[in-house]
Amino acid sequence: MYGTGILKGLGVTLRHFFQTYADDLRWAGKGGRYYNDEAFAVRQSPEAQGVITVFYPEEKLAVPERFRFVPFLVTDDPPPGQRWGHDWCTSCGICAKVCPPQCIWIERGKLPNGRPKPEPVNFFIDIDICMNCGYCAEFCPFDAIKMDHDYELAGYDRSTAHIHDKARLSKPLSYWQEISPKRAAAEEFGRQMAESAKTKKKGPDEEAAPGMPNDVARQLPYRGAQY
Amino acid sequence: MSEAILEPTAAEPAPVFHTPAQEASARLKELFPDVVSDETREGYEGLAVYADSLPEIAKALRDELGFNYLSSVTGVDNIEEGKLEAVYHLYSIARGGGPVVLHVQVDRNEPVIPTLVPVFRGAEFQEREAFDMFGIHFQGHPDLRRILTWDGFNGYPLRKDWHEPFFEEQHKPFGSRWPEGEVFRAEEKTPYGKNVQYPAGWLPTGDEYDVETDVYLGLSYSRDATPGLRTDKVTVNLGPQHPSTHGVFRMVVTLDGETIIDLKPVMGYLHRNHEKIGERNTFIMNMPFTDRLDYLSGVSNNFGYALTVEKLFGLSVPERAEWLRILTAELIRIGNHLWALGFLLNDLGALQTPMLYFYIERELIVDFFEALTGSRMMHNYMRFGGVAYDLPDEVRGVPTMKYLEEMVFNRLPRVLEQGDELMTGNEIVRARSIGVGYLSPADAINMSAAGPLLRASGVPYDLRRAEPYSFYDRLDFDIAVRYNGDIYDRYLVRMDEMRQSLRIIEQVLPHLRRTEGAPIIGDKPQYALRAPRGGESYGRVENPKGELGFYVTAKRRDGNPSRYHVRAPSFINLTTLGPMSRGYKVADVVAILGSIDIVLGEVDR
């Protein structure tokens, strides 16, 4: 019959209309559907029904561990009274060389005798140019540069505020462990594994180092092939 | 002329041809003995051809040898030899398999090549692009104007001696970044006002500024649609700022009343010279840039580029990585088609609300990619010889495999059903789309249409079957094909394709479980890769939008591609827009454009 197709289509609309209320009712006695952490988790999961909108900035989506935004530099946890600890960066320049839009500038340190010192004097990232590809973090052999989760970087002045210097970029290891616990642990595991492999090579009768367990390896890029 | 050359000797056994392309190449050499020869440069395949006889050779390939699909036309600047080169990739729709590649070299100071537009209309935009980027003059081209840059643009940007205003060095990485890293902003070195060069004698305020005349002159005027009534034709610009154009895209249309008499697409508003950037970049740097082509299917673009470079480098990919690649490519295909269907409804006049019904499920796919790759759309997921990440532990709090199963067996089939309910039988959709925007199979092939556009015209050509890559030959699926060549069939083909993609993913999931814990990349990845051999490589994948091809050439031991070309399906599919729209109403054109499903990031590159 002519018109049944339209009616069916309108049925879909009607279903969606009622679905938005279905979830409202389900959460009615439990603190409501919105501004409620428990309901929010469901609203963003595959079980979500009806409206799945997030009321940013009151509500924010949880970002997964692998989420990548403008990079930061890892330092040791700071000693009391100081903001940063020792830089992990050795200013080897691999991140600057692999960076596709070339947004990283590194000024390498110098020893008094003129030889390079494995420590950056300055480190700049132009966040306007950064394309968040994550190569710097992927290829850093010292786990010294990592992708951040802080995506709220709006500023008032493009010409000065958007070039981040070393002070702005440095964050302690504990921050990395906080935003990305599983991966940070896996990296620690990988570093220890590489370390023990190095020392074991000296002893002749040692067995080959055990590989990385699967649930650790899958946290890392290339399943930890870099360790 | 060919008979004289053919002197069969009894002792010589008949040559054995392994592929249709080899057979056709051998035949061509027999047919045109003086002008066709094997390409002799190391690492190159195909034939070297003299420019003057190109149209005849193309005609013979099309009519006699069955190589009727001109996939890619591009230029190359061989500055050391003082030559400009045009490279043509032709495929056989009926027989599948690899390409016949034609290389035409002409003098750099006098680059003239006869046009192929009379033989393959699909060459129209691509030749214009090669003219725009390299200054190769295609003699006899009906409308040889700049296409991606504008008329006040100085020089031919893809020539090797052309430098962009913010030029620093020929190749990345730039020396100023390390170890002396002194930060600067590009605008400081090239301030506003000094970053534009005009051609000699060209003034931005002069009469030449009226560059639009060319566009309007190109539009053909036919006789009155209503005889006896004196009517005026009106030329109207649809776009570039228009919600129906899916971005900044302009259609110049000549109207007789509401009827389209002629239409010309104008593009390039988002042009950033992706290919020049690609040639400055090292090989691995290009990977995240490919995400920005068709930004709705980033991982699929990665796939094409990875395949191309793996071919050039001779790398192999571990099994689990192949399954992960297929899983992601098919998921993104579903995501892309959900988006396309939503937008088609939007273009048909069902604004916004029904579109969102498709996006709820697309959101799940995007969430999966966020957990897998770290980014919702700019995935940067594949590496040469594998993929970057294994599956995550969980997606939105659900274990990954469970999440995938929930999606593949429950949510996605349900949304397809809902789409059927909403659109397939809907009288308004049918009235607006059946019989509108007709494209015949012959035209579709001749205009190098690809993907759902080609298959909706009844041509069962899918690269996953015609020239299987990755593990697609191990999977059981059908080529989605429909035969009426109108908007409605393009919609149906996309629905069918999503079902087939689901079928593929269902087969991939057990393999992913089986290979749990296996390596996902061949070697430990290197940040500075150098080409182990010189030569060319053309890789193509069946992207959601159509055939995405990458043409990469490199010199031995070089860290950068010396030529990096993208055969963008959205761009070439637009060739069909003008012919498809003629005779329909203005409102139909919006739907026709929607049914091609373009993404401007890829059109303009």
Distance CA B290, CA B605 (A): 10
In a domain, B262, yes or no: no
- Contact residues for B369 (Cβ-Cβ < 8 A; gap 6+): B299, B328, B331, B332, B375, B376, B377, B379, B381
Q: What's residue B3's pLDDT?
A: 46
Cα separation values, A158 from A73, A165, B192, B212, B524, Å: 22, 14, 15, 35, 38
> Among B567, B488, B75, which residue's Cα sits nearest to residue B294?
B567
> Which residue of chain B has the CA closest to A67?
B374
B529 or B228, which is more confident: B529
- The shortest C-alpha distance from B22 to chain A (Å) reads 38
Which position has the token pair 């259609």?
B251
pLDDT in tens, B234-279: 788 887 888 777 888 888 888 888 888 888 888 888 898 999 999 9
- Binary contact (B423, A9; C-beta < 8 A): yes
DSSP string for residues in B573-604: HGGGHHHHHTTSBHHHHHHHHHHH---HHHHH
The answer to whether B260 and B587 have CB atoms below 8 angstroms apart is: no
- Binary contact (A46, B407; C-beta < 8 A): yes
Q: Which residues pair with A75 in a beta bridge?
A: A87, A172
In a domain, B317, yes or no: yes
Q: Of B285, B390, B427, which is closest to A2 when you measure between CB atoms?
A: B427
Q: Which of B139, B169, B201 is the last residue of a domain?
A: B139
Residue B388 contacts A where some CB pair is shorter than 8 Å: yes
The yes-or-no verdict on residue B5 having pLDDT over 60 is: no
CATH of the domain at B20: 3.30.460.80
Chain B residues lying within 8 Å of A225, measured CB to CB = 519, 521, 523-525
Mutate to test the interface with A, among B376, B512, B527 (most CBs of A within 10 A): B527
Q: What's residue B510's pLDDT?
A: 92
Mutate to test the interface with B, among A158, A218, A220 (most CBs of B within 10 A): A218
Q: Give residue B367's domain range.
A: 274-604
Q: What's residue B28's pLDDT?
A: 80
Cα separation values, A100 from A104, A149, B86, B172, B537, Å: 10, 20, 28, 8, 22
Cα separation values, B160 from B112, B241, B338, B580, Å: 18, 34, 41, 37
Query: Mean pLDDT across the stretch B521-538?
Result: 84
Q: Which of B120, B139, B158 is the last residue of a domain?
A: B139
Cα separation values, B355 from B68, B188, B423, Å: 37, 44, 11
Helices (H) and strands (E) in chain B, counts: 22, 19
Which position has the token pair 């710097």?
A136
Q: Of A48, A105, A182, which is closest to B182 when you measure between CB atoms?
A: A105
Q: What's residue A226's pLDDT?
A: 67
- Binary contact (A66, B389; C-beta < 8 A): yes
Q: What is the pTM of this model?
A: 0.89
Distance CA A40, CA A56 (A): 12
Q: What's residue A114's pLDDT?
A: 80
Q: Of B177, B428, B527, which is closest to A106 when you measure between CB atoms?
A: B177
pLDDT in tens, B209-245: 555 666 665 555 544 556 666 667 778 888 788 877 7
The yes-or-no verdict on residue B327 having pLDDT over 90 is: yes
Which position has the token pair 């925007």?
B437
In a domain, B365, yes or no: yes
Residue A9 contacts B where some CB pair is shorter than 8 Å: yes
Binned at pLDDT 50, 70 and 90, residue B189 comes out as: confident
B230 or B411, which is more confident: B411
pLDDT in tens, A146-158: 999 988 888 888 7
Binned at pLDDT 50, 70 and 90, residue B500 comes out as: very high
Which position has the token pair 């002749």?
A204
The answer to whether A202 and A108 have CB atoms below 8 angstroms apart is: no
The answer to whether B447 and B122 have CB atoms below 8 angstroms apart is: yes
The answer to whether B302 and B382 have CB atoms below 8 angstroms apart is: yes
The two structure tokens encoding residue A43 = 């609203």
Q: What's residue B369's pLDDT?
A: 92
Q: Of B179, B284, B392, which is closest to A108 when you measure between CB atoms?
A: B179
Distance CA A44, CA B519 (A): 32
> Among B267, B513, B519, B517, which residue's Cα sits nearest to residue B386?
B519
In a domain, B265, yes or no: no
In a domain, B186, yes or no: no
The yes-or-no verdict on residue B203 having pLDDT over 90 is: no
Q: What's residue B330's pLDDT?
A: 92
Residue A194 contacts B where some CB pair is shorter than 8 Å: no
> Among B475, B479, B478, which residue's Cα sits nearest to residue B505?
B475
- Binary contact (A218, B390; C-beta < 8 A): yes
The two structure tokens encoding residue B248 = 């900044």
Q: Of A4, A97, A217, which is closest to B173 when you measure between CB atoms?
A: A97
Residue A222 contacts B where some CB pair is shorter than 8 Å: yes
Q: Of A98, A104, A133, which is closest to B380 when you measure between CB atoms?
A: A133
Residue B94 contacts A where some CB pair is shorter than 8 Å: no
Q: Which helix (H) or strand (E) holds B21?
A: helix B20-31
Percent of chain B surpassing pLDDT 70: 93
- The shortest C-alpha distance from B442 to chain A (Å) reads 33
The complex scores an ipTM of 0.89
Neighbours of A115 (CB within 10 A): 8
Enter the CATH code of domain A69-176: 3.30.70.3270
Residue B372 contacts A where some CB pair is shorter than 8 Å: yes
> Among B588, B568, B592, which residue's Cα sits nearest to residue B74?
B568
B240 cis-preceded (ω within 30 degrees of 0): yes
Percent of chain B surpassing pLDDT 90: 23
- The shortest C-alpha distance from A168 to chain B (Å) reads 15
Distance CA B11, CA B9 (A): 6
pLDDT in tens, B158-174: 998 888 888 888 888 88
Distance CA A43, CA A50 (A): 9
Chain A residues lying within 8 Å of B364, measured CB to CB = 46
Q: Of A8, A107, A217, which is closest to B180 when you measure between CB atoms?
A: A107
Q: What's residue A207's pLDDT?
A: 45
Q: What's residue B325's pLDDT?
A: 92
Q: What's residue B41's pLDDT?
A: 83
Distance CA B295, CA A150 (A): 23
Structurally, chain B folds into a number of domains equal to 2
Query: Mean pLDDT across the stretch B163-187?
Result: 83
- The shortest C-alpha distance from A148 to chain B (Å) reads 11
In a domain, B417, yes or no: yes
The answer to whether B325 and B387 have CB atoms below 8 angstroms apart is: yes
CATH of the domain at B351: 1.10.645.10
- Binary contact (B374, A182; C-beta < 8 A): no
Query: Mean pLDDT across the stretch B394-416?
Result: 88
> Among B110, B197, B191, which residue's Cα sits nearest to residue B162?
B197
**Domain segments of chain A as ranges:** 1-62, 69-176, 183-224
Chain A residues lying within 8 Å of B425, measured CB to CB = 4-5, 8-9
Cα separation values, B497 from B83, B335, B478, B592, Å: 43, 11, 9, 19
Q: Which of B109, B139, B169 is the last residue of a domain?
A: B139
In a domain, B237, yes or no: no
Q: What's residue B583's pLDDT?
A: 87
- Report residues of chain A scoring pLDDT below 70: 1, 200-210, 226-227
Distance CA B87, CA B77 (A): 11
| Window from A79-88, B416-425, B513-522 with minimum mean pLDDT | A79-88
Query: Mean pLDDT across the stretch B118-122?
Result: 90
- Binary contact (B185, A163; C-beta < 8 A): yes
Which position has the token pair 């190589």?
B67
B204 cis-preceded (ω within 30 degrees of 0): no
- Contact residues for B358 (Cβ-Cβ < 8 A; gap 6+): B338, B339, B341, B342, B415, B419
